[in-house]
Amino acid sequence: MKQIKIGIIGFGTVGSGLAEVLYSQKERMTKRTGMSITLSKVADLNLPELPDKFQGVTLVRDAQEIIHDADIDIVVELIGGIEPAKTFVIDAINAGKHVVTANKALLSQEGKDIFAAASKKGVEVGFEASVGGGIPVIKSLREGLVANKILSIMGIMNGTANYILTKMTEEGVPFDEVLKEAQDKGFAEADPTYDIEGIDTAHKLAILMSMAYGMNITHNEIVTEGISQIEPLDIQLAHEFGCRIKLLAISRNHGDHVEARVHPTMVPESHLLASINGAYNAIHFTGDTVGNVLLYGLGAGMVPTGSAVAADVIDIARNIKAQSIGRVPPLSYLPEHIQALRVTPMDELYGPYYFRFTVKDEPGVLAEIAGILGQHDISLESVVQKGRKKTGSVPLVMLTHDARESSVSEALKEISKLDTVLAPVVKIRLLGDEA
Ligand code: HSE
């Protein structure tokens, strides 16, 4: 029987999840592939020893011992971050190894170099686990939706942020409190910046956009706003307006330009994405031939993510056996058809907004703010003022009709300078016609 040998660099949560899946599914994988797919070596700087059940697997400290091991067919990079991950991936490719990675930060920044190196060497790069954890989103986009022009991508792609927003919604607890609880439970990272500020979601959106549109894009080109400014009051008001607040990745394809943004969004309660709760992820594609597709599942976790990494390993093993390496290009488009597409400047965006102003409770304040919005051609759909706080400030909340982002920015800059406005304005975009 054909033997395929795997080396894992980095034995953290996902690395041990992959080892577990390769171990527990070994027989099934053999029945499905006709091959013996075996974990051969693990490189980790800190792990004292491998669990007993992984007898026969060698633990090393130096990743290069895996990269240059002639018996290893597939190198799995699971250390995360840019360096030394990029060096390990490029070295493995140059050593003629196929590579699997879950590293969204790396691919969304350095993907161009990595795919070019792999194409030159005739090896494969699998990255199913980089977006949506256990959800087979990459394979769906690359293969299941291959006969579509992708018209839009929308998704909840960060479990930590979605867990926090869900708890705030269901229990009315402030952001800081939920975050601390999530950290205490070991659920949120000690440094949660990437998750709560939308950066992790932007990494994932950049990867999906590269594949959906066949374009070069890095996460730096994606406008990214996080959820740390959201207060229980915003969530309560969203509910009164028939919406839920979600951290969404949104991209719409306008042909010669494409939107690319990550921000808290008020999603109508009737929309499927409004009901994705807790640590779950969901990614919604619209294709011109298929219509709407929603993929839902666990976006993180040891074994679900291990399942996605294992799927890449098996795909590559099958291609090795069938001598069909490179059958499916990593980004679905052939490299010569990857194009430069203009990312729509945020100022050109047009849609409805929610504003929450913290203002002095004095006559004329509402009229002054509404007047400035009117001067910038921003029309109001509704206005709500909540009860006076002990401090003498009141929250003044407005929903607008469709407005241009550039006008909104100018108006809010002017309003922020008023003496009667006591705190930074909270602005949340509503999911408009794109819903
Ligand atoms: N930190 C991510 C999340 C999981 O909270 O969804 C890995 O992509």
One DSSP character per residue, 186-227 reads T-S-SS-HHHHTTHHHHHHHHHHHHHHHTB---GGGSEE--S
* Mutational test site, ligand 1, from 104, 167, 195, 196, max ligand atoms within 8 Å of CB: 195
The residue behind tokens 């003629």 is 96
Q: Which pLDDT does position 189 carry in this prediction? A: 76
* Mutational test site, ligand 1, from 158, 197, 277, max ligand atoms within 8 Å of CB: 158
Q: With a 6 A CB cut-off, is 316 part of the ligand 1 pocket?
A: no
- Residue 434 pLDDT grade (very low, low, confident, very high; cuts 50, 70, 90): low
Q: Which pLDDT does position 23 carry in this prediction? A: 96
Angle of helix 13-24 versus helix 26-33 axis, rounded to 10: 70
Q: Which pLDDT does position 386 carry in this prediction? A: 78
The residue behind tokens 């709500």 is 384
Q: How confident is the model over 85-93, as a mean pLDDT? A: 98
CA torsion sign for 399, 405, 411, 416 is positive
Q: Report CA(404)–ligand 1 centroid distance (Å).
A: 32
List the structure tokens of 79.
Answer: 């250390």
Q: Which pLDDT does position 433 carry in this prediction? A: 60
Q: Which pLDDT does position 389 carry in this prediction? A: 63
Q: How confident is the model over 317-329, as a mean pLDDT? A: 97
| Residue of the CA atom closest to atom 7 of ligand 1 | 300
Q: Which pLDDT does position 54 carry in this prediction? A: 95
How far is residue 59's CA from residue 7's CA, in Å, rounded to a whole number?
Answer: 10
Q: With a 6 A CB cut-off, is 160 part of the ligand 1 pocket?
A: yes
Contact 369, 390 (CB under 8 A): no
Answer yes or no: pTM beyond 0.85: yes
Q: With a 6 A CB cut-off, is 400 part of the ligand 1 pocket?
A: no
Q: Which pLDDT does position 275 carry in this prediction? A: 97
CA torsion sign for 371, 377, 381, 384 is negative
pLDDT at 435 over 60: no
pLDDT at 233 over 80: yes
How far is residue 224's CA from residue 380's CA, in Å, rounded to a whole number?
Answer: 26
Contact 404, 377 (CB under 8 A): yes
Q: Which pLDDT does position 387 carry in this prediction? A: 72
Q: How confident is the model over 269-282, as a mean pLDDT? A: 96
Atom of ligand 1 nearest to the CA of 281: 6
Q: Report CA(278)–ligand 1 centroid distance (Å).
A: 12
- Residue 182 pLDDT grade (very low, low, confident, very high; cuts 50, 70, 90): confident
String of DSSP letters for 281-321: EEEEEEETTTEEEEEEEE-S-HHHHHHHHHHHHHHHHHHHH
User: pLDDT digits over 43-83, tens only?
Assistant: 999 999 999 999 999 999 999 999 999 999 999 999 999 99
How far is residue 276's CA from residue 339's CA, in Å, rounded to a whole number?
Answer: 33
* Domains in the chain: ranges and CATH: 2-130+302-333 (3.40.50.720), 137-298 (3.30.360.10), 346-430 (3.30.70.260)
Q: How confident is the model over 385-408, as a mean pLDDT? A: 88
* Mutational test site, ligand 1, from 137, 162, 163, 200, max ligand atoms within 8 Å of CB: 200
Q: Report CA(131)–ligand 1 centroid distance (Å).
A: 9
Average pLDDT over the chain, rounded to whole? 96
108-132 burial, b at 16+ Cβ within 10 Å, e below that, comes to bbbbbebbebbbebebbbbbbbbbb
